[in-house]
Amino acid sequence: MSIVEEKKAYISSLIKIDNVSNIEIQESLIPPPDPELGDFALPCFKFAKLLKTSPVKIAENIVSSITDDHTMFDKIVAINGYVNFKFNIRASANRVLSEIVTQKSTYANSSEGMGRTICIDYSSINIAKLMHIGHLSTTVIGGALYRIYKKLGYNPIGINHLGDWGTQFGKLIVAFKLWGNIEKLTNDGVSALTEIYVKFHAESETKPELLDMARAAFKRLEDGDPESVQLFELFKKITLDEVNKVYDRLHVHFDSYNGEAFYNDKMDVVINELDSLNLTEISDGAKIVDLSKYDMPPCLLVRSDGATLYATRDLAAAYYRKRTYDFYKCIYVVAYQQNLHFKQLFKVLELAGKTWAKDMIHVPFGMVSLEEGAMSTRRGNVILLMDVLSKAVEKSAEIMTVKNPALKDKMEIAEKIGVGAITFFALNNNRIKDIVFSYDKALSFDGETGPYIQYTNVRALSILRNLGVSDDYFSIPFTDDELAGLDNKESAILLSLLEKMPDILTQVIEKFEPSILSRYIIDVAKAFNRFYLENRIMNAETNYRRARATLTYATHIILEEGLRLLGIDAPTEM
Ligand code: ARG
């Protein structure tokens, strides 16, 4: 049980309401709008009907009935139909601080996910295409969920469901044979592929025979013709070499790169099964699953020319993942434009009697666009993710030159700040909202940004460095005299935030929403800065110093681990 849950359980044990269970009381406890009011509030409105009494009266009755001797609480008060509970620092500081400083980065680890595998399909790029700003959200949201699942004891499987199948690869092969050369490809990478692909389209306007050649080339690829396969493998390698550089910078990795091509020989079984269940029918020569009963267009499985589709391969992939990983959940972090695709996919699985269809989850997200005037990095029609990262790093280096000219390893630190700023910006948003990206906003040191958190962490570290103490300085418990150093508003708010981390992580995976964690560490950073502003640490009264330094150390641990979970480095200096 986390500290927060224990506190809730304790509160509910003190309250007796006729015909209302302890569990229900416990689950009704919410954080009050203003942390100064207390740590927990019990809204009494929902009991009014049952008790035939006004919420205001109920709240007052509860307060007067509580016989706790107030060793645990600073105050318990009834306000406007709420009962607010404020725990006293002495009762909880030793507990939470000792948990954090002894467990360090493993604080908030749990085993709740033991034995449960979670497939996470994210990033899932297309071969021979450049990775652009539209890939940012899926990549960093997937990466964050992956690390958080792992921290909670699950077994996450990161899957990059490569878009490596389709007639466009026939076009590329033809274009490469006509205009490409290995040297240019090796030097320019994916851009060289895009270039010849664009040329193919322009030329095929006047030379439609090119399209026939492309179809034939794709057919040869499908049939395993060695030369075509070799060329395709080269395109794939070039693409992966390039995207892996981006993944490294973003600290994202995958356990599997099984993409669409991998399912080429795994679709027949699925289609046969759907046939035998009488789910399929032929419509205009194509094989479909009719979904009109569910207010959806049909799910197209095989085109009239015999070609399979994106959905067919996703069906085969779903079967394969269930069989191979026996997942507890299979998550798809894919833009909301594909809402319908996933609704259809999950419906077909359900109709096929797969009980696990309910464990398939589409985690959609909104679009990222760059604000007006920030388009200088456009290449062709896309804003490359690599360019965005590099530009953010460049700007961070400029900022560091002004802010801290003496800084050693400036470029190394600028990489952490710049890339971290981009990641944080993409994560610190309700997933489903469209976002307009701005370098200045993302890199601001005093907004709700990655650099702000990194900077706050560096501040905490420098306080600790100046104290020049070793780990055993933070040994706990503190005496009451020492704890008096934390008996102030700012410390109380910070402490009550620190103890919430385990519950925050649970919320993130319940809602597939990493922004719950990003906002949380923003709150921690803000609370720490207020604490630091109002309370001396170095020059504190001697008996206060140790407790305050420990709170600083605990904050550093939470910030660093919070950043790591989001995929962001925490520089030790900046
Ligand atoms: N490659 C696809 C695209 O770029 C995304 C694939 C998402 N994953 C999946 N299993 N459908 O749109």
Per run of 10 residues, the mean pLDDT along the chain (length 574 residues) is: 87 90 93 87 93 93 83 88 89 90 96 97 94 94 98 98 92 94 91 91 93 92 91 95 97 97 95 98 97 98 92 98 98 97 98 98 92 50 87 96 94 97 95 90 92 98 94 88 92 93 97 98 98 92 93 98 98 96
259 alpha carbon – ligand 1 mean position (Å):
9
Strands (E), 153-243: 155-159
Domain-terminating residue out of 87, 120, 142: 87
Cis peptide bond N-terminal to 502, omega within 30: no
Domain-terminating residue out of 250, 272, 288: 250
Strands (E), 365-406: 368-370, 378-379, 382-383
CB-ligand 1 contact for 314 (6 Å cutoff): yes
Q: Which atom of ligand 1 is nearest to the CA of 162?
A: 1
Q: Which residue has the tokens 């990641």?
A: 423
Q: Which residue has the tokens 């802010």?
A: 403
161 alpha carbon – ligand 1 mean position (Å):
6
Q: Which atom of ligand 1 is nearest to the CA of 342?
A: 11
Strands (E), 381-455: 382-383, 435-437
170 alpha carbon – ligand 1 mean position (Å):
20
pTM (predicted TM-score)? 0.92
Cβ proximity of 162 and 124 under 8 Å: yes
Query: How far, in Å, are 180, 191, 378 from residue 188 at the CA level?
Result: 11, 6, 16
Domain presence at residue 178: yes
Give, for 387, the enclosing helix (H) or strand (E).
helix 385-403
Nearest to 547, CA basis, from 460, 462, 468, 485: 485
CB-ligand 1 contact for 161 (6 Å cutoff): yes
CB-ligand 1 contact for 164 (6 Å cutoff): no
Domain presence at residue 349: no
**Residue to substitute in 159, 334, 337, 349 for testing ligand 1 pocket (most ligand atoms within 8 angstroms of CB):** 334
For residue 377, what pLDDT is reported? 41
pLDDT tens-place string over residues 425-475: 999 989 999 988 889 999 999 889 999 999 999 999 999 999 999 888 998
Cα distance between residue 74 and residue 200, in whole Å: 74
Single-letter amino acid, residue 78: A
Domain-terminating residue out of 57, 87, 117: 87
Domain presence at residue 186: yes
126 alpha carbon – ligand 1 mean position (Å):
8
Domain presence at residue 130: no
Close Cβ partners of 542 (under 8 Å, ≥ 6 residues apart) = none
487 alpha carbon – ligand 1 mean position (Å):
53
Cβ proximity of 260 and 316 under 8 Å: no
Tokens standing for residue 281: 């029918």
CB-ligand 1 contact for 124 (6 Å cutoff): yes
122 alpha carbon – ligand 1 mean position (Å):
8
Q: Whose CA is nearest to atom 9 of ligand 1?
A: 161
What's the 3-state SS for 247-304?
A: HHHHCCCCCECCCHHHHHHHHHHHHHHHHHCCCEEEECCEEEECCHHHCCCCEEEECC
pLDDT tens-place string over residues 425-439: 999 989 999 988 889
For residue 37, what pLDDT is reported? 85
**Residue to substitute in 338, 348, 367 for testing ligand 1 pocket (most ligand atoms within 8 angstroms of CB):** 338
Domain presence at residue 58: yes
For residue 376, what pLDDT is reported? 40
**Residue to substitute in 124, 331, 336 for testing ligand 1 pocket (most ligand atoms within 8 angstroms of CB):** 124
Domain presence at residue 281: no
Q: What is the CATH number of the domain that holds 81?
A: 3.30.1360.70
| Structural domain that includes position 64 | 3-87
CB-ligand 1 contact for 163 (6 Å cutoff): yes
Q: Whose CA is nearest to atom 5 of ligand 1?
A: 124
CB-ligand 1 contact for 126 (6 Å cutoff): yes
Domain presence at residue 326: no
For residue 140, what pLDDT is reported? 98
Q: Please state the domain count of the chain.
A: 2
Domain presence at residue 558: no
Nearest to 100, CA basis, from 555, 492, 544, 545: 555
**Residue to substitute in 123, 129, 161 for testing ligand 1 pocket (most ligand atoms within 8 angstroms of CB):** 161
For residue 70, what pLDDT is reported? 67
